[in-house]
Structure 1
Amino acid sequence: MFFYDNYHFYSNKDCETLSLLYFYVMLKTFKKHIETNLEFLNDTRLIIAISGGVDSVVLSELCKSINLDFALAHCNFNLRAEESNADEDFVSELADQLDVEVFIQNFDTQAYADEHKRSIQMAARELRYDWFAELAEQLQFDYILTAHHADDNLETFLINFTRGTGLNGLTGIPVVNDNIVRPLLPFSREVIEAHAREHNIMWREDSSNSSRKYLRNKLRHEVVPILKEINPQLLDSFQSTIENLNDTADIIEESLDAVAKRAITIIDDNGISYKISEFKKVNNPKAYLFEMFKDYGFTEWNDVVALLDAQSGKQVLSNSHRLIKHREHIILTEIKSENFESISILESDAKVETLFGVLLFDEADAIFDNSNNVIYVDRDKVVFPLELRTWKEGDNFYPLGMKGKKKISKYLKDEKLSLVDKENTWLLTSNDDVLWVVGKRADNRFRVTDETNNILKIELN
């Protein structure tokens, strides 16, 4: 057997002597790591995500030894019958021993997985992190500590590698990700377990960790040992590789930021617009498109590239977003699942909240503003209640300043609006007649004339 202490490997003949030093060596190294790299954890309130396994128990012991202010948070996923309940009891006892607060949450993980069509592992992950975030927000904890270590980092790298990924999937688990912090990443599983054994630290073994059912376990038990046999300093080599890849990722990020800065023309509630010409200037448009849009769930990258030369209106969909070609731009927009219901506006309403702003209604003595977001109409021609709704095929109106009637669809096309803008066009109607294409054009039938006695001002803020 070999012990890895982040710097050297030792044979069996050295282990007996070294074991006596493990508590102090690991504690000293851990304390130095906190002081050098994670100093912000001092004087803050922390949650330690604890399963009862050796990694999270050792993390808790180490944090107690250096006097960090923390509470424990344990998830009982109810997947292993009495074993899950025994884990919960163990964590409660550990909290008593450490004299810290403990929070325990029970989940029906199988029901959640079935309802949301998730694997058990993904369901547990979502439940766990959602609860941690809720706990931190409600009770004002600053950071959530997890016990991921060097071997977890290697396994995650291999999982991403086998499934196919971009560079970001090969840069390892970040030590800090928002308010999630992983203080044990510099330490190997062997060092953590040796530390626990030599100092009589008790922990719980999860029986599912020995199963080959999950990819991570297959890699842990079958692949990683072979890699370590080939290269006894595998974790050292891996850490160097991760550092090199992260350096490369920084360079790529700078290049992406430069292209994005030149390409993005509009950011608003409807989405983000990118100039196609900026993607065509680079040597490998597909690579830039992938890095720019990979976090939005797109998978058909050849179709995304084809948008650069597609006709206006062409779309590529993911589960959550769309990329739409509009003239010389690509528009990224979220797919909205809600059904827009119409809003009824009474004569007594002076202020109406909408999805796209606030409508204000007031009397006016004269016309002072001709912007798209303000209209003045003949109050005596308006029939209440007004209706605010999205436009539909067959709608028409008499555009102010133009002669005759025009279909809304034709008007929007003539205005050269994108598909996204068309979908987010609302109408204010009076007795089924269009009073205002909101934010765009008023209807001529309600205009203020010399015959008008009462003026109604309608403003979009």
Structure 2
Amino acid sequence: MLLKNFQNHINDNLSFLKGSRLLIAISGGIDSVVLVHLCHQLNLNVALAHCNFNLRGKESDGDEDFVIQLANSIDIEAFTESFDTQGYANEHKISVQMAAREMRYFWFDELAQQLQFDYILTAHHADDNLETFLINFSRGTGLDGLTGIPEINNKFVRPLLPFSREQIVDYAKDNQLEWRVDSSNASTKYLRNKLRHEVIPILKEINPSLLQSYQSTINNLSDATDIVEDHLEQFFQEAVVSIEESKMTFKISEFKKQNNPRAYLFETFKDYGFTEWNDALNLLDAQSGKYILSNTHRLIKHQDHLLLSKIVPGELIEIVVSDTSQEIETPFGMMCFSEVDEISDNSTTSIYVDRALLKFPLLIRQWKVGDVFFPFGMKGRKKVSKYFKDEKLSLLDKESTLLLCSENNIVWIVNRRADNRFRVTEATQEILKIELK
């Protein structure tokens, strides 16, 4: 019965798999073994990929041997990879489960690219989908987290998603299939296993048609999500000012126009790790320069806008310029030095200085509190921080601004303002043009 339903599902909804080169992610457990058997019965062009995470000693090695034997028995190709999962988890300070997930999907993707597999199949089924729904629900989520596992996600396809664990087990027993049992699946110390063994059986006892009811709910939520996404697309067109490599800029006024600004903040920034949505809401009326942080991003209030930027680990920029015969690479472009006979243009990306006034080596660095300079065209000095404030620079703009210095004196606030002390005068004998390309 499952084979016929699976064939119909492929024909009706996933026909692109027929004739494609497919890689099946197989653990050796009952779900992935049944997926391999079903695909083999339909003569789909498949190969197997197995990860040995080395977390269960001989049991892990036994899983790998089983997958190789299964592939040999039905004459298909199998790829295996051994991982130091615990070491990776310790190095990246993440859980073992997250480490295994990251390494697994990275390897599958790499394998597919190198050997030109069109799609990667995983054996997620309806019960997995329900478990994921409950996990997301218990942790707090939005509509996206309640619509379950996507059947198609780029190269990853989950053709067993409409079918229950019960159907899969019945098929395996009816066809006398062999599979491996992961002893860790019996432990309820993991949330998914606790839901699987303790919570979902009670829910199924209360409602024997739980999976069908859940699928109905998923369909309704997916329809609601489509409506929300259509509206959000229109909102983004109005709210987004610019999308640059280093930041995205949003109009605060567009959030304030909405009946529920907090909801729009959630939908706009939920994928960037933020969780404190009342803090995000308060940011709309905060002073310029205030910000909130996630583990990966920063959301900054700057005048009438919100600026979203990725957090880059702090790195001190100090670039020494020993002479002017070289081009110097900076994080924001190539700084070039050239001797010229006259001043030919005026732009923020280049300055002209009296070369004799420079004391080498020069230093390219970030600004720091206490820096002062003499703005070109003025006699007096000015704090760099005051100059930034007058220019209404955002926190991100300040952080991405470099200074070119001669000894302890600022020659140029790069791409913004030259220092008057190094200007070209009638007494200048050698003009040096400095520009950032």
Q: Which of the five TM-score ranges fits, normalised by the shorter chain?
A: over 0.9
Q: Distance in 2 between matches of 1:430 and 1:58?
A: 71
Equivalent in 429, 440, 450 of residue 405 of structure 2: 429
The within-5 A match list for 1:318-357 is: 318-347=294-323, 349-357=325-333
Long gaps (5+) in structure 1: 1-21
For residue 75 of structure 1, what is the amino acid of its counterpart?
Answer: C
Counterpart residue number, 1:371: 347
The yes-or-no answer on 1:85 pairing with 2:50 is no
Counterpart residue number, 1:54: 30
Cα separation, partners in 2 of 1:287 and 1:145, compared to 1, 3 Å: same
Summarize deviations over 1:403-433 as a string: whole Å, max 9, x none.
2211211111111111111111111122332
Q: Distance in 2 between matches of 1:197 and 1:349?
A: 77
Q: Contact 1:270 / 1:421 at 8 angstroms: preserved in 2?
A: no
Q: Contact 1:350 / 1:362 at 8 angstroms: preserved in 2?
A: no
Summarize deviations over 1:52-84 as a string: whole Å, max 9, x none.
011111212222333433332111122222211
Equivalent in 124, 130, 142 of residue 154 of structure 1: 130
Cα shift at 1:153: 0.4
Q: Distance in 1 between matches of 2:20 and 2:360?
A: 57
Q: Contact 1:357 / 1:460 at 8 angstroms: preserved in 2?
A: yes
Q: Distance in 1 between matches of 2:175 and 2:18?
A: 25
| Secondary structure at 2:301 match in 1 | strand
Q: Distance in 2 between matches of 1:388 and 1:46?
A: 52
Counterpart residue number, 1:389: 365
The yes-or-no answer on 1:290 pairing with 2:266 is yes
Query: Which moves more between the two structures, 111-120 or 198-207?
Result: 111-120
Q: Distance in 2 between matches of 1:174 and 1:458?
A: 54
Equivalent in 411, 433, 439 of residue 415 of structure 2: 439
Equivalent in 268, 280, 284 of residue 244 of structure 2: 268
Summarize deviations over 1:127-146 as a string: whole Å, max 9, x none.
22232233334444333221
| Secondary structure at 1:456 match in 2 | strand
Summarize deviations over 1:346-394 as a string: whole Å, max 9, x none.
4254433221222233333433332211222233333433221111122
Cα shift at 1:316: 1.1
Cα separation, partners in 2 of 1:435 and 1:143, compared to 1, 3 Å: farther
Equivalent in 238, 242, 262 of residue 218 of structure 2: 242
Aligned length: 437
Cα separation, partners in 2 of 1:400 and 1:69, compared to 1, 3 Å: farther
Q: Contact 2:299 / 2:307 at 8 angstroms: preserved in 1?
A: yes
Equivalent in 158, 168, 187 of residue 182 of structure 1: 158
Cα shift at 1:228: 2.4
Q: Distance in 1 between matches of 2:240 and 2:77?
A: 48
Q: Distance in 2 between matches of 1:379 and 1:331?
A: 39
Q: Distance in 2 between matches of 1:367 and 1:66?
A: 76
For residue 339 of structure 2, what is the amino acid of its counterpart?
Answer: E
Counterpart residue number, 1:452: 428
| Secondary structure at 2:307 match in 1 | strand
| TM, length-normalised to structure 1 | 0.89
| TM, length-normalised to structure 2 | 0.93
Counterpart residue number, 1:204: 180
Equivalent in 58, 80, 98 of residue 122 of structure 1: 98
| Secondary structure at 2:49 match in 1 | strand
Cα separation, partners in 2 of 1:345 and 1:102, compared to 1, 3 Å: farther
Q: Distance in 2 between matches of 1:137 and 1:368?
A: 51
Counterpart residue number, 1:10: none
Q: Distance in 2 between matches of 1:47 and 1:208?
A: 25
Q: Contact 2:324 / 2:337 at 8 angstroms: preserved in 1?
A: no
Q: Contact 2:22 / 2:46 at 8 angstroms: preserved in 1?
A: yes
| Secondary structure at 1:309 match in 2 | coil
Compute the RMSD of aligned alpha carbons. Answer: 2.1
The yes-or-no answer on 1:299 pairing with 2:275 is yes
Counterpart residue number, 1:18: none
Cα shift at 1:266: 2.7
Q: Distance in 1 between matches of 2:408 and 2:367?
A: 12
Summarize deviations over 1:298-323 as a string: whole Å, max 9, x none.
12211111111111121211111111
Q: Distance in 2 between matches of 1:274 and 1:335?
A: 18
| Secondary structure at 2:23 match in 1 | strand
Cα shift at 1:42: 4.0
Long gaps (5+) in structure 2: none
Q: Distance in 1 between matches of 2:4 and 2:322?
A: 71
For residue 71 of structure 1, what is the amino acid of its counterpart?
Answer: A
Equivalent in 68, 75, 89 of residue 113 of structure 1: 89
Cα separation, partners in 2 of 1:350 and 1:280, compared to 1, 3 Å: same
Q: Distance in 2 between matches of 1:234 and 1:42?
A: 32
